[in-house]
Amino acid sequence: DKLARATEILKNAKYAVCLTGAGISTESGIPDFRSDRGYYTNFIPEDALSVGVLESNPQRFYKEGYTILKDLEGKEPNPGHVALAKMQEKGVIHEIITQNIDDLHQAAGAKQVLQVHGDASTARCERCNYREDFKAFDERVQSGEIPPKCPKCGGVMRTNVVLFGDAMPQAFDDAVRATEKADTMIVVGSSLKVMPVAYLPRMVEHLIIINKGTTPYDHNADVIFDGEASPILTELE
Ligand code: OAD
Ligand code: ZN
């Protein structure tokens, strides 16, 4: 069966990496983007998460796009995050490359996590790179300071998540390098529609996909699990 095939591929892998997307965190109560219950399908226009809107219409960014940061408050890792952390600890997979900004892989104990779309837990000054915790930053936003100013240099502070139109962070270069080393990748909970991250699965010989619904890489995959990630990952672990 599929589980046996996936296990065999992982056992024979010389170097395996995992790529996760919003689908691994839906079981923690965080919406994904493109499924029936996703942000773009129901709550926010896709362009609200862009540098263009952040810069030209900060009021709109903080009303619309910013909700994805506020929704993360109090969210906990689910058994899928835990299973991946254990697989990493055992050396079955090496880097966890995540498009998620929720820090839930780390909260589940994962050590090598490459956050290729940044993180929600910090804000930074666009001018001097001063860092601030999300909590302190958000207090200023909630009190109506939009956009919040840098306490050090007076520049504009912004979230440390990657928005459409942003350059990719160093973590993405690290992810490319890790994937170059890899012969095997497990994709979990991503529609694989957003570039440049969606190029990564092309670079490996063996691909295992755990995702509700189809992806553009289904024809390249050795094994596809079309279902809830956490029970499948728990079994696989
Ligand atoms: P998407 O919403 O595009 O894809 C999530 C996928 O996970 C969908 O195919 C869902 O059907 C699937 N899914 C949902 N819950 C699942 C579960 N419990 N088990 C298995 N599969 C499940 O999210 P991403 O691919 O992560 O970027 O989106 C990529 C990027 O688009 C995000 O990082 C974000 C967004 O715009 C930026 O904002 C820059
Ligand atoms: Zn500054």
Q: What was the pLDDT predicted at 152? A: 97
Mean pLDDT by 10 residues, the chain (237 residues): 97 98 98 96 94 96 96 97 98 98 98 98 97 97 97 97 97 98 98 97 98 97 98 98
Which residues, including other chains, have CB under 8 Å from residue 199's CB and lie 6 or more apart?
A: none
The reply to whether 206 belongs to the active site is no
User: Which residue lies with its CA nearest to atom 29 of ligand 1?
Assistant: 194
Q: What was the pLDDT predicted at 38? A: 97
Q: Which two tokens stand for residue 141?
A: 């936003």
Q: Which amino acid is at 144?
A: G
Q: Is residue 196 a contact partner of residue 167, using CB atoms and an 8 Å limit?
A: no
CA 106 to mean position of chain CA atoms: 12
Q: What was the pLDDT predicted at 192? A: 98
User: Which residue lies with its CA nearest to atom 35 of ligand 1?
Assistant: 33
Element (H, E) at 118: strand 118-125
User: How many C-beta atoms surround the C-beta of residue 117 within 10 A?
Assistant: 21
Is the CB–ligand 1 distance for residue 184 below 6 Å?
Answer: no
Q: What was the pLDDT predicted at 79? A: 98
Is the CB–ligand 1 distance for residue 95 below 6 Å?
Answer: no
Q: What was the pLDDT predicted at 214? A: 97
Q: Which two tokens stand for residue 14?
A: 């010389």
Is the CB–ligand 1 distance for residue 211 below 6 Å?
Answer: yes
ipTM over 0.85: yes
